[in-house]
Structure 1
């Protein structure tokens, strides 16, 4: 896969707690230069949309733990969309899922999807889930009419794996994220069935493409 084919599949990401406005502008500059998308904190969306209107902007909802109330997640998503976000990545409530409250997880996701006219990706945090829980989370995302499922926030003890991508893509398009740092890492996820890559190492991934 050459650089021009791979770049649009990458959400070049900066979401750490110490992210500064300068960090966001750097990611936007790199995304624009290389043809990537950008995934940035919700507090930076309005400024980013003005600074780089040609870059597809994703932002996060309920990040990173997913424990916000339904109403807060919905309002956060609507606010981000109104500020200029093109896509939303929302963290499920893992605790509710593991408690068997799948209907609560499904309703929360559906409420957000219905509130915005832009794609919603559902972050499962696969490192914390059994395969059976991953399947139930995917079923909730499908029922909520989500656009994609996403493996990880990047804040758990591991990120995306080939096995997780293969499981998740049985249900919806997959964004593989967390721990993807090289061209080879990215290609492994795409070959497993991923449709999108989330990575803070977007430039390194593209610089590693074969000549």
Structure 2
């Protein structure tokens, strides 16, 4: 895949706790230059819409822990859409999922999806879930009519010594097995730790249809022209 083909599949991202307006403008400049989308904090949407009207803007809802009240998430999503968001990336309530409250997880997502006329991607936070829980999270996203599922916020805290059932180290970002699992349900946004062209292509080959990365420029610089 060459640079121009790959660029529209990348959500060039800046979501750290110290993200400034200048940081957002830098990401938007990169997105405009290379043809990428941008994923930015909700507070920056109105300015970003004026600054880079041709860039597809994604933002995050319930970020990064997903523990907001369901009504707050819905209202946050509506406000983000009205402020200029083209897509929403919402974090599921991991605690409710782990407690077996799948109906509540689904209902919360469905409420948000129904409230906005734009695509909603569901961040399931794979680092914190077992494979069985990942299946259930994806099933909730499908039942809520979400457009995509997304691997990670990139902010989950995991012990590097932790191991998956197959012996692989747990990652707080995207992994090939998780992308393969999730792609059975919805198009996947692989996010967290994707920093090179080779890593991006591995995720796409595993079934991802979108890449979320703060390293969008580096990924594209490694791609053939």
TM over 0.5, shorter chain:
yes
Q: Which residue of 2 aligns with 1:114?
A: 114
Misfit runs of 4+, over 3 Å = none
Shift in Å, 1:193: 0.3
The whole-number CA distance in structure 1 between the counterparts of 2:204 and 2:224 is 16
Shift in Å, 1:132: 0.3
Shift in Å, 1:210: 2.8
User: RMSD between aligned alpha carbons?
Assistant: 0.5
The whole-number CA distance in structure 2 between the counterparts of 1:183 and 1:24 is 23
Given the alignment of the two structures, is residue 93 of structure 1 paired with residue 93 of structure 2, yes or no? yes
* Pairs within 5 Å for 1:107-186: 107-156=107-156, 157=158, 158-186=172-200
Q: Which residue of 2 aligns with 1:207?
A: 221
Shift in Å, 1:182: 0.3
Identify unmatched segments of 5+ residues in structure 1: none
The whole-number CA distance in structure 1 between the counterparts of 2:26 and 2:184 is 35
Superposition TM-score, scaled by structure 2 size: 0.93
The whole-number CA distance in structure 2 between the counterparts of 1:128 and 1:183 is 26
Shift in Å, 1:199: 0.1
Q: Which residue of 2 aligns with 1:3?
A: 3
Q: Which residue of 2 aligns with 1:194?
A: 208
Superposition TM-score, scaled by structure 1 size: 0.99
* Pairs within 5 Å for 1:66-105: 66-105=66-105
State the secondary structure of the residue aligned to 1:6.
helix
Identify unmatched segments of 5+ residues in structure 2: 159-171
